[in-house]
Amino acid sequence: MKILTQHIDVPGIETIDVYRQHGGYSAVEKAIKTMAPDEVTEEVKKSGLRGRGGAGFPVGMKWSFLAKPEGVPRYLVCNADESEPGTFKDHYLMMKSPHTLIEGMIVSSYALGANTSYIYVRGELMYVINILEKAIQEAYDKGLLGKNILGSGYDLDLFVQPGGGAYICGEETALLESLEGKRGNPRNKPPFPAVKGLYQCPTVVNNVESIAATSWIVNNGGEEYAKIGVGRSAGTKLISVSGHVRKPGVYEIPLGITVEDFIYSDEWCGGIRDGHKLKAVVAGGSSVPILPAELILKTTNGENRLMTYESLSDGGFATGTMLGSGGFIVMDETTCIVHNTLTFARFYHHESCGQCSPCREGTGWMDKVIHRIEHGKGRMEDIDLLVDVAKKIEGNTICPLGDAAAWPVAAAIRHFRDEFEWHVKHPEEATKPGAVFMREGASWTL
């Protein structure tokens, strides 16, 4: 079942003519000509679509929170600042089929009553920005954007804004600050963007994938969408797979398939590369807790773990993780978890905005300590120190970057403490190129 990527390999799908030949922009016609804005919101609510950027908040509910005071403009902002290590699904979608996003933007803006909308794309993706700009121009030329869309009296201007290449600008309020031309520091909440967002006006910020999915929902109805998937995890999800699998790439999966299927079946990842075994998976982008092979495939109850929001988070952070943004990083037994954790910690150290003290100082501290451990200068007490520092960052910061920095470190130690201890106890061995600790009797031990 494919919704977003159904026609993605059709040659020329990036042009409006080919896109329309494959049923493109029918949702715009249906929504604008036959539906009231509230009806669109209602369909999205019924669909059970959840935010695909990471947090998984129901989109329809987010829309219904939007304040609608008289005489104040409302904005829809598409968060295309996808910068989480391991996540590259939005990039792929916008690059291959920009009109899928633009159609979703028109439908969603119509539902929210926004007359100006923005797509905030991370600055490194300049060529994607060019693709989007071209596609938007095509949509303007066909009367799908601009004044009086399809003769309905509804006006919409759509702009693409390149970011400066900061991870923090993917946080919705930092994104709004950046969009306003300021330093990308997250705002204190409340007020939430739904009340005071862009230029202090009510604003909805949604991920590319969430917005793109709304056109299918309009075309086929929310109930149809809700039928795909399992329970509260409705619909399909783009998963960007990287790491030691046979076929890394972006896959659109119906939520609810088992993780085992996803990794090993030929339809998706095709299994671990030859001669190697699965050691660990980061299931939703670098910020979610890493899980060892036995916990990612089965929950502690012995049930198969599914690719759903609920199943992946089963067991809380003790034995579970999160679906997050769908950045699925697979590691085989050749991966050193300490080195991997260092890479993540260094990233968050580099990307912390520096506004609030726990994150600003804590990310740097964790980076330096893990760096020492990785390079053979660790002390046994450093491991508990890391756990404690992570605990003191988590939940005490302005925005979720603090949590995102703390979770991977805490989880790596939770599940792979022996590996950290090995680095501390055997620094000479551990710092040899390619040296990896092999846990005795573990499923990934060769």
Residue 132 C-beta: closest distance to another protein, Å? 27
Q: Is residue 398 close enough to count as binding another protein by CB under 8 A? A: yes
- Cβ 253 vs Cβ 236: under 8 Å: yes
- Facing residues of 329 across strands? 242, 282
Contacts 24+ apart (CB under 8 A), 185-194: 185/353, 185/355, 186/353, 186/355, 186/398, 186/399, 186/401, 187/398, 188/398, 192/65, 194/62, 194/65, 194/66, 194/67
Question: CA–CA separation, 419 vs 233, rounded Å?
Answer: 35
Q: Is residue 124 close enough to count as binding another protein by CB under 8 A? A: no
Q: Is residue 358 close enough to count as binding another protein by CB under 8 A? A: yes
Residue 379 C-beta: closest distance to another protein, Å? 8
Q: Which is nearer to another protein, 269 or 404 (CB)?
A: 404
Residue 365 C-beta: closest distance to another protein, Å? 6
Q: Which of residues 145-174 bind another protein (CB under 8 A)?
A: 166, 168
Q: Which is nearer to another protein, 162 or 378 (CB)?
A: 378
Q: Site size for another protein, by CB under 8 A? A: 31
Stretch that binds another protein, among 204-212, 274-282, 394-402, 432-440 (CB under 8 A): 394-402
Q: Is residue 73 close enough to count as binding another protein by CB under 8 A? A: no
Contacts 24+ apart (CB under 8 A), 315-321: 317/289, 317/407, 317/410, 317/411, 317/414, 318/414, 319/291, 319/295, 320/289, 320/291, 320/295, 321/282, 321/283, 321/284, 321/288, 321/289, 321/290, 321/291, 321/296, 321/411
Residue 361 C-beta: closest distance to another protein, Å? 4
Q: Is residue 15 close enough to count as binding another protein by CB under 8 A? A: no
Q: Which of residues 332-351 bind another protein (CB under 8 A)?
A: 349-351
Question: CA–CA separation, 409 vs 424, rounded Å?
Answer: 16
Q: Is residue 408 close enough to count as binding another protein by CB under 8 A? A: no
Q: Is residue 413 close enough to count as binding another protein by CB under 8 A? A: no
Q: Which of residues 25-44 bind another protein (CB under 8 A)?
A: none
Residues within the interface to another protein (CB under 8 A) = 166, 168, 183, 188, 349-358, 360-365, 368-369, 372, 385, 389, 392-393, 395-398
